[in-house]
Amino acid sequence: MNKPRSNRRAVNGILLLDKPEGMSSNAALQIVKRLFEANKAGHTGSLDPLASGMLPICFGEATKFSQFLLEADKYYRVTAKLGIKTTTGDREGEVVCQRSIPTITADLLHSLFNQFAGSIEQVPSMFSAIKHNGQPLYKLARQGIEIPRESRQVTIHELILLEAGSDYFSFEVRASKGTYIRTLVEDMGETLGCGAHVTQLRRLSAGPYQPEQMQTLSHLEQLQQTQSKELLDSYLLPVDSSIATWPLLPLSEAAIYYLKQGQPVIIPHAPTDGWVRLSHKNGAFIGVGEILKDGRVAPRRLVQN
């Protein structure tokens, strides 16, 4: 049962949850929110129940910057089953067709990967979370409704073969936002002429975050039983950790004052374009800004102090 709102607290930061297989992203979010007794939290980039791995959960002020994680590259470990195509593109769907499988060799798979490296076009699956008239496609798909989808361009930055057998192969992939791994595997299967679907999917990283930074639900539950909020909070990453590679601009009190009024300001030695992190002279993060064409820095999202 969730804590009454009056018993919840202000929590700020980012938790990298290792979402277990078989649980929805929203269910995982609600458990973590309860463990931290947080009054505000959201996840960035859903993982299907089938998938496990990195699910960044943003608390409090960090939710203002969640879009930058949504737009970041993701890294996955995938196992594809050959010869069988399913309705959902993964092992949870019904079998649509079965076809004979060509002889699988490392050379064949490396050649396949070369065809899918770089910028490619994808038609999102009907079992994706993309919305049509406010309804997620997967809900329509479960009603037997098929909606025409336009292809979209995504970028496959890296494909690494891990293992291969007569009817499967495992690989790691680093891809841009909006890439559907199930669709990637289905398209690979069609290129091989035999069809394919995902049997295992694990997200290893998102944006700047690394696998060793993830925390499991069981570990968090053990910590929560100690009734030490400080111990739980020690696993939170800073609000601005998702954008730690952006240029940092320390600001004077006068500049901060005008930015908080929504007014662009001139900052000496600022970059000539792009987005920047903004901080007090003491290093305390205050938000993000964007460089305007005239060189001034415009506030875009600021934290509440």
Question: Facing residues of 84 across strands?
Answer: 98
Q: Which residues lie below 8 Å from residue 52, measured CB to CB, with a gap of 6+?
A: 18, 19, 20, 21, 201, 202, 203
> Is the CB of residue 106 less than 8 Å from the CB of residue 113?
no
Whole-Å CA distances, 82 to 19, 75, 102, 190: 26, 22, 9, 10
Active-site residue, 294 included: no
What angle, 0 to 180 degrees and rounded to 10, lies between the N-to-C axes of helices 217-225 and 25-36?
20
Residues 6 or more apart whose CB falls under 8 angstroms from that of 261 comprise none
Report the run of H or E that residue 288 belongs to, with start and end: strand 285-291
- Contact 25/201 with Cβ under 8 angstroms? no
Q: How many CB atoms lie within 10 A of CB 205?
A: 20
Phi, psi at residue 187, to the nearest 5°? -65, -35
Q: Minimal CA–CA distance to 195: which of 76, 86, 92, 79? A: 86
In this structure, how many other beta carbons lie within 10 angstroms of the beta carbon of residue 188?
A: 23
- Check 48, 90, 187, 240 and give the catalytic one: 48
DSSP code at position 266: -
> What are the catalytic residues?
48
